[in-house]
């Protein structure tokens, strides 16, 4: 009886999975047609008609069980506030098209990229399966932490950098708005821990598999400003849908609208960052270590360390 029941449950799960695959494929096929229509008709009216069109499309993608793509479509309205919104919108459309095509041709992709595509589409990856993978032990510097409210949930992102491995990680936790969120050490803390990474072509999100304790350490080792373009190019070559990546910059000279170095290289700040007064005050015009979140529109400073190694969250 147990064996027969187990076989029936397994068959039901397979049927459900096959049905979802078909629904997702149909939903993404519709997305491809929709994108072709948008580009063919032009985007001049996007500010007037876009939000309603995107909400309708997102609902259909949710029905097609592609929540990751639906979330991306829902967030398209954010680009309309930017002065350069036409270029940004076309860029978002291009990435959506690339994702739909990649899913359609998933069988031809390398396994890490195929996993990335499925995750971006919205296929779940269980916590148990992540924790079952080999973990990476290191002394992890907490280089940034940010809480953001979205859809009545508070999302906490903590960015970490491994001192020995050089790996970067992002630990994500959620809590209903108004409820306590899982605590995590603040920037400037170094923890001895094992991290298990979610699968993908450019893995960043991780779970803390085991935390052993705190470690006394100074400012984290960093990358030169001049090395960042090549580093980000490598990340995007592996996962072109990456829209956030942590950086630790060594010898960084903060400016009102960028982070530079003493060789004339500079990285622009995100428009929402404003003038980083606290960062400018800590640095006093001198090179410092700066942790920042890279985004396609510029850097968002996370933390800095002064000449004495003291951290200042930003």
What digits encode the pLDDT tens for the residues 145-179?
Answer: 999 887 788 999 999 999 999 999 999 998 888 88
Q: For the chain, give every domain's residue range.
A: 2-121, 128-214, 225-313
Q: What was the pLDDT predicted at 5?
A: 62
Cα dihedral sign, 160-145-293-97: positive
Is CATH 1.10.1740 what the domain over 128-214 is classified as, yes or no?
A: no
CB 253 within 8 A of CB 265: no
Q: Is residue 301 very low, low, confident or very high in pLDDT (cuts 50, 70, 90)?
A: very high
Question: Mean pLDDT, to the nearest integer, of 240-248?
Answer: 97
Q: Is residue 49 very low, low, confident or very high in pLDDT (cuts 50, 70, 90)?
A: confident
Give the residue carrying structure tokens 């005050």: 281
**Pairwise pLDDT comparison (235 vs 175), residue with the higher score:** 235
**Pairwise pLDDT comparison (284 vs 197), residue with the higher score:** 197
**Pairwise pLDDT comparison (224 vs 11), residue with the higher score:** 224
Question: Mean pLDDT, to the nearest integer, of 190-195?
Answer: 98
Residue 2, pLDDT > 80, answer no
> What's the CA gap between 191 and 169, in Å, rounded?
13
- Mark out the alpha helices in 180-275 (DSSP H runs): 228-238
Contacts of 241 (CB under 8 A, 6+ apart): 95, 98, 99, 116, 120
Q: Is residue 1 very low, low, confident or very high in pLDDT (cuts 50, 70, 90)?
A: very low
Output the pTM of the full model: 0.90
Q: What was the pLDDT predicted at 239?
A: 97
């Amino acid at each position: 009886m147990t064996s027969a029941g187990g076989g029936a449950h397994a068959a039901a799960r397979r049927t459900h999975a096959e049905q979802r695959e078909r629904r997702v494929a149909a939903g993404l096929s519709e997305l491809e047609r929709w994108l072709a229509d948008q580009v063919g008709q032009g985007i001049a009216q996007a500010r007037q008609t876009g939000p309603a069109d995107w909400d309708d499309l997102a609902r259909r993608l949710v029905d097609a069980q592609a929540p990751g793509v639906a979330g991306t479509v829902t967030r398209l309205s954010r680009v309309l506030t930017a002065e350069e919104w036409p270029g940004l919108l076309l860029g978002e459309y291009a990435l959506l098209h690339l994702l739909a095509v990649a899913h359609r041709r998933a069988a031809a992709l390398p396994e890490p990229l195929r996993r990335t595509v499925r995750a971006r589409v919205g296929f779940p990856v269980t916590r148990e399966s992540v924790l079952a993978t080999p973990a990476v032990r290191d002394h992890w510097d907490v280089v940034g932490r940010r809480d953001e409210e979205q859809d009545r949930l508070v999302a906490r992102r903590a960015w970490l950098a491994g001192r020995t491995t050089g790996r970067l990680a992002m630990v994500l936790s959620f809590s209903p708005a108004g409820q306590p969120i899982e605590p995590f050490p603040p920037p400037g803390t170094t923890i001895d821990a094992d991290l298990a990474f979610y699968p993908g072509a450019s893995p960043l999100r991780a779970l803390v598999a085991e935390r052993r304790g705190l470690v006394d350490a100074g400012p984290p080792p960093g990358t030169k400003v001049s090395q960042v373009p090549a580093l980000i190019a490598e990340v995007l070559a592996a996962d072109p849908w990456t829209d956030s990546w942590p950086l630790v910059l060594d010898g960084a000279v903060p400016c009102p609208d960028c982070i530079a170095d003493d060789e004339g290289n500079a990285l622009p700040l995100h428009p929402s960052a404003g003038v980083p007064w606290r960062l400018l005050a800590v640095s006093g015009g001198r090179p410092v270590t700066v942790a920042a979140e890279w985004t396609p529109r510029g850097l968002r400073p996370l933390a800095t360390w002064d000449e004495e190694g003291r951290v200042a969250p930003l």
